[in-house]
Amino acid sequence: MKYLQKTVFIGILILSAIYLLFTLGLATNVALGSTRVKELYDQTQVLNRLVFKFGLWAVILTAASFIIGNHKNENFFIPNFVTAGLSSIFLMVISVITVIRVLPIKALFLETFDVTSDNIKILIALNYAEVNTFIYDLGIFTSIAMFIFGGLSAFITIKKYSNKVKSAKIKKLSMEVSQ
């Protein structure tokens, strides 16, 4: 359990940092065409602002979780439960929201930058660029991984709470027996 705990909380910290990097690169695919592809640009900017805020909070919550030792403490105390619980729930919720919001924008991006169009081929050649969906795929993959790790973190937190409750009951029972 200790190895799983450390792996999960370190994984969450790494995934939160990757998610924040994803938010910083999200709008770069459409930056050059901002006047030509206004609908895509506007939708991407709205999403970018939202997921950037999510990314900042994810890093803050996971950093706080790390600072109080959620990755190594055998016994959780109230601050451990609060930070682990909040970060687990938050990561799982933002993961779902991100995937739901990124998929339509990825589809709109592919529709807007149809690589079979001669105009798009010229634009790509002039800008030494290529049409790719790496940033969208990164966001989707990172979100799915964050959801899984958030679930594992919730499992560990619930298990720690369950152990704490059992320990308290045993301690109370032994005190009653000794009296």
Under the banding of pLDDT at 50, 70 and 90, the label for residue 115 is low
| Exposure class string for 31-44: b at 16+ Cβ within 10 A, else e | eebeeebeebbebb
Per-residue pLDDT tens over the stretch 4-33? 888 888 898 899 999 988 888 877 656 555
Look up the pTM and report it.
Answer: 0.79
Nearest to residue 149, comparing CAs of 50, 81, 62?
62
Amino acid 75 reads N
H or E segment and range at residue 167:
helix 134-178
Q: Which residues contact 99 (CB under 8 A, 6 or more apart)?
A: 139, 140, 143, 144
The set of long-range contacts for 154-161, using a CB threshold of 8 Å and a minimum separation of 24, is 154/84, 154/85, 154/88, 154/89, 154/92, 156/1, 156/4, 156/5, 156/8, 156/84, 157/76, 157/80, 157/81, 157/84, 157/85, 157/88, 159/1, 160/75, 160/76, 160/80, 160/81, 160/84, 161/76, 161/81
Model confidence at 129: pLDDT above 70 = no
Model confidence at 100: pLDDT above 90 = yes
Judge whether 90 and 83 are in contact, CB under 8 Å.
Answer: no
C-alpha 42/C-alpha 113 separation (Å) is 15
Under the banding of pLDDT at 50, 70 and 90, the label for residue 168 is confident
